[in-house]
Amino acid sequence: MIGNGMTKWWALGAVSLSVLAVSLDGTVLSVALPTLARSLHASESDLEWFSAGYLLLLAAAVLPAGLIGDRYGRKITMLSSLAVFGIGSALCALAPSPGWFLFARLLMGLAGAGITVMALSALTVLFDEGERPKAVGVFQAANFLALPLGPILGGWMLSHFWWGWMFLLNVPVVILGLAVGGVLVPESRSAQRPGMDPIGTAASMIGLVAVTYGLVKAGEAGWSDVAAIGWMIAGVVLLAGFFWWERAVARRGGAPLIPPVLFRSKAFASGAALGGLAGLGMIGLLFTMPQYFQAVHGLDALGSGLRLLPLVAGLLIGALPAARLTRVIGSKLTVALGFTLLAAGAGLGAATRTSSSTAFVAVWMAILCAGTGMALSAATSAAITTLSVERSGIGSAVVQAFNKTGGPVGTAVMGSILAAGYRRHLDLSAVSPAAGAEARKSVYGGMAVAQDLGSPSFGKSVQDAFVYGLDISMLAAAGIAVAGFVLTLLFLPGLRTYPDPDRPKEPAHVG
């Protein structure tokens, strides 16, 4: 069922607003952790799980959410998830203890998976092939707005209001999403109800949780951490078993969780994978730059958040024209151009120094994120344009699975590279072993040691070491972008995703 006139664009606005609430919740927590530690008497382990638990449930539930939407109705799945998300938000605000707050966060992660998957699926239902790239650009823009807006809004609210309002703000957004979505978003489901595939569902959920948890641990403890590596290996083995099982079920004529026919489309498979790859450098940027602004330039959380605004400007500059470019030069060249800009921005970022101006940093961040926005939007469009309405739920879930695991991957990879460079470049010859051990933990620990010692020279050494690690991580981001460029040229079809009566239709549909 395709929407008509302006109604479908208003429906897209409601869907995007709901996704914005989910995305904001994932970023706003970063600035609230110190306040939560004091207000809830939360331990370091509690704080870790407040963030990691949300990510784990979000990653684990995307594939089952797609299956449930295809089977029972995509609109009802999205609206139910919105309602649960609103309840979880209110429970977070009213939490009297860490356990209560963690339960609410897990509930929100579970609901967030249903919202993001069904929102992307709604684009397939509402828009035809020619309109989907533009709709994806608007949808991605809503996601991108949350990246810097979360820390900015969170920092401002923590400075002026009770911390619980950061979560209660989701409630009116949820109510508006329920009202507008309930009226404007059409209900749809698969004509042939897919089977539940309990073994495949369990394997995919546990595998995604294990991989995501291992990546979170690697981002905190480094890639040499045995537990982190063990979790990732276990997750990869489970996911490999999951794909084996899916093929076996399909061969027997059963109903697998992910129909293997989806991956027979090069546009879908490569588009979904390249979309996840495109986000790695940007996620790394979100991890490293607040530390740069606060530890090197001495800004507070709100000041560092405001300096991330060029990031969202770049994302919008890249994402919004991606649909037009795809119509003119095709998806292959559009995604390749995005990766080129991403590599150029990251390369410039590798020239950052402690004395670099705010303007220089803003320029290279904007270029990097323009490339990310363009590559991510065009790759996602290439993937979902191949989907029929029949398989829009589970197909959107696969795309979101790549995107949601990209966050922990980017943080772990860029974080570990930065940490290794920082420690290698840090000069500890002038401090005691105990002070050196504290300084090696993080740039904040190093600056605290410099302050305790009253040594501006050691503080400058700490800042130089951090910037060295930042530069190395940006070189790694540039390398990832170059790899994405090559993979795009090798595997992504050069589709122009719009109807052309003079051109034979490509065999893009898989349903």
The reported pLDDT for the residue numbered 176 is: 85
d(CA 489, CA 494): 9
Confidence of residue 60 (pLDDT cuts 50, 70, 90): confident
Question: Is the pLDDT reported for residue 3 higher than 80?
Answer: no
For 386-455, where are the alpha helices, taking DSSP H only?
A: 392-425, 433-441, 443-453
Among 353, 361, 378, smallest CA distance to 310 is for: 361
Tally of CB atoms within 10 A around 498: 18
Among 19, 21, 92, 94, smallest CA distance to 51 is for: 92
Q: What are phi and psi of 229, to 5 degrees?
A: -65, -40
d(CA 100, CA 50): 11
Mean pLDDT for all residues in the chain: 83
Strand locations in 280-380, DSSP E? none
Among 446, 480, 449, 450, smallest CA distance to 465 is for: 446
The reported pLDDT for the residue numbered 395 is: 81
What are the structure tokens assigned to 328, written together?
A: 């003119």
pLDDT tens digits, 9-21: 888 887 887 888 7
Does residue 80 contact residue 96 with C-beta atoms inside 8 Å? Answer: no
pLDDT tens digits, 267-319: 888 998 999 899 887 877 877 888 898 889 988 767 877 888 898 889 889 98
Please state, in angstroms and as integers, the Cα–Cα distance from residue 249 to each residue in 47, 69, 233, 498, following that order.
41, 21, 24, 35
What are the structure tokens assigned to 330, written together?
A: 């095709």
pLDDT tens digits, 348-394: 999 999 999 999 999 999 999 999 999 999 999 888 887 776 777 78
Confidence of residue 500 (pLDDT cuts 50, 70, 90): very low
Q: To which residue do tokens 């290279």 refer?
A: 364
What are the structure tokens assigned to 11, written together?
A: 């429906």
Among 74, 73, 65, 142, smallest CA distance to 111 is for: 65
The reported pLDDT for the residue numbered 160 is: 81
Mean pLDDT of 407-435: 84
d(CA 95, CA 86): 14
Tally of CB atoms within 10 A around 237: 12
Does residue 382 contact residue 318 with C-beta atoms inside 8 Å? Answer: no
pTM of the predicted model, to two decimals? 0.80
**Which one has a higher pLDDT value, 4 or 262?**
262
pLDDT tens digits, 163-182: 888 888 888 888 888 888 88
Question: Is the pLDDT reported for residue 335 higher than 90?
Answer: yes
d(CA 446, CA 433): 13
Question: Is the pLDDT reported for residue 253 higher than 80?
Answer: no
pLDDT tens digits, 125-165: 788 777 887 888 777 777 777 766 777 777 778 778 888 88
Question: Is the pLDDT reported for residue 333 higher than 90?
Answer: yes
The reported pLDDT for the residue numbered 235 is: 92
| Listed range (26-35, 74-83, 117-126) with the worst mean pLDDT | 26-35
pLDDT tens digits, 191-243: 766 666 788 888 888 988 888 888 877 766 777 889 989 999 999 999 999 88
Question: Is the pLDDT reported for residue 338 higher than 80?
Answer: yes
